[in-house]
Amino acid sequence: DAGVTQSPTHLIKTRGQQVTLRCSPKSGHDTVSWYQQALGQGPQFIFQYYEEEERQRGNFPDRFSGHQFPNYSSELNVNALLLGDSALYLCASSLFTGNTEAFFGQGTRLTVV
């Protein structure tokens, strides 16, 4: 079992650009959640996808959007990048039913210059 995999591991973008991050959940999981972890801070919940729909959303602007595919993998898109979007972006997978353990990927380190 490969666990949760994220790509790419590192990324450098310029202000104003757009970025797409990808996540493959742990085998058997159907729910993907995305978190932003700024340097020196705890992860902050961005949103969650289940059955290809956004189910919950944290306090993030509409520049942050996502998608889930029929194979449960997910993408996080960020438009009009700001310097403040520089962070580690973590993907977590779980089962939608019940309060199950969330498994995290290693993250994508995004640097906006």
Partner 1 sequence: GNSVTQMEGPVTLSEEAFLTINCTYTATGYPSLFWYVQYPGEGLQLLLKATKADDKGSNKGFEATYRKETTSFHLEKGSVQVSDSAVYFCALPYGNNRLAFGKGNQVVVIP
Contacts (CB under 8 A) with partner 1, residues 10-29: none
Report the 10 Å Cβ neighbour count for 41.
10
* Strand, coil or helix: 62: coil
Query: With binding defined as CB under 8 A, does residue 48 bind partner 1?
Result: yes
Centroid of chain to Cα 28: 18
Does 51 bind partner 1 (CB under 8 A)? Our answer is no
- Whether the bond between 8 and the residue before it is cis, its omega within 30 degrees of 0, is yes
Which one of 20, 22, 45, 73 is in contact with partner 1 (CB under 8 A)? Answer: 45
Binding residue (CB under 8 A) for partner 1 from 19, 21, 36, 43: 43
**Site for partner 1 contains 105 (CB under 8 A):** yes
Q: What is the dihedral of CA 37, 103, 79, 112, to 10 degrees?
A: 40
31 touches partner 1 by CB under 8 A: yes
Whether residue 42 contacts residue 32, with contact meaning beta carbons closer than 8 Å, is answered with no
List contacts with partner 1 (CB under 8 A): 4, 6, 31, 33, 35, 40-45, 48, 55-56, 58, 90, 92, 94-96, 99-107
